Amino acid sequence: MVTYGSHWRSWCGGVILALGLLCAAPPPAAALEADHTTSAIVGEMRSYTTFYEDTLLDVARDNSLGYTEMIAANPGVDPWLPGEGTKVVLPTGHLLPNAPHKGLIINLGDQRLYFFPRGDEPPISVPIGTGREGWNTPLGSTSVVRKQHRPTWYPGPAVRAEQPDLPRVVTPGPNNPLGEYAIYLGFPGYLVHGTNRPWGVGRRVSHGCIRLYPEDIAHLFDKIRVGTPVTIVDQKVKAGWVDGVLYLEAHPEPAQIFALEETGALGLAPVDPIDDVTMELIRVTAGDAFSWVDWGLIKQTLSQRSGTPVPIANAEPSAD
């Protein structure tokens, strides 16, 4: 068994990653395997009991979680006034995306960045903010081409057309939306960077760049080298085996995220949440266990979209 342990720092509130190999967009069938014995586990699901002054926004940042994943995991809890003594779920465990486990994986579907250091160091995952409607982050493979501490921001023509009062150059400092650190990708105009508006982490509010909490980008900046490969995917549903148990993890669709932020509820779920891509994902990942997966749990997981891994089958059928 391959196990990735936590090495996140206490000021981050703990590492965020979790369970296993996986997939969720339409990858080649050969990329998926029913492997019941090999697991890649980083982090674990946790819980937290709130104090009277807490908001879910505060709790999310203290535990290196994004705002949307925090409220998706805690339906019915008021994000601004959860109340003293409320036990909330910390979704600090995630199935790894189905992509090469090297360099950086940016998964728009779960609003997280996964970094695989060289050598035996375990991977790290942190929440990200990504592009809002009309400012989509591109998918595909690229690499890190440049890094800059205290970057200068040059707003592009499209941004200036939307915000004509912006200066042509924004120098380093508290008013710079890139924050203290910027990592430039091979996709022209796209960066992984900090932010002076941390409330946007875990949400789709940027102009397509990838924003991180200031403390997360500071921790990663020296670890990520120029030339590091970068893979950007959009996998909202992931599946994988962990110690002989098959897990499924589903995150909200963009329209559901908007409803979640506006109303605290996901809105209407699809009549049949198991589309062809998800069915193929489950079939190939389950392998021989496909005949005894729990379809009730699968439908519930895909309807609730809590972003937490849910066990849907064992390697051997139940004796019941």
Q: What is the mean pLDDT of the chain?
A: 81
Which string of DSSP letters, residue by residue, matches 268-291? PPPSS---HHHHHHHHHHHGGGGG
Phi and psi (nearest 5°) for 157?
Answer: -60, -40
Task: Answer yes or no: is pLDDT of 90 > 60.
Answer: yes
Q: Bigger pLDDT: 86 or 32?
A: 86
Active-site hit among 12, 207, 209, 251:
209
Closest CA to 313 of 250, 249, 248, 251: 248
Backbone angle region of 13, left / alpha / beta, with phi > 0 → left and psi within -120 to 50 → alpha: left
Quick check: 204 pLDDT over 80? no
Q: Which two tokens stand for residue 160?
A: 């200036």
193 is known as an active-site residue: yes
The whole-number pLDDT of residue 302 equals 93
pLDDT tens-place string over residues 95-124: 988 888 899 999 999 999 999 998 888 889
Partner residues linked to 144 by β-bridges = 185
Between CA 122 and CA 113 the distance in angstroms is 14
The residue from 36, 193, 207, 251 that is catalytic is 193
Contact 101, 69 (CB under 8 A): no
Q: Which of 24-28, 173-177, 247-251 has the lowest mean pLDDT?
A: 24-28
pTM of the model: 0.83
Statement: residue 135 has pLDDT above 60? no
Residue 16 has pLDDT above 50, yes or no: no
Q: Does residue 209 have an active-site annotation?
A: yes
68: left (phi over 0), alpha (psi -120 to 50) or beta: alpha
pLDDT at residue 171 in the model: 87
Domains annotated on the chain, with CATH: 1-98+235-320 (no CATH), 129-228 (2.40.440.10)
Q: Is 303 exposed, middle or buried (0-12, 13-18, 19+ CB in 10 A)?
A: middle
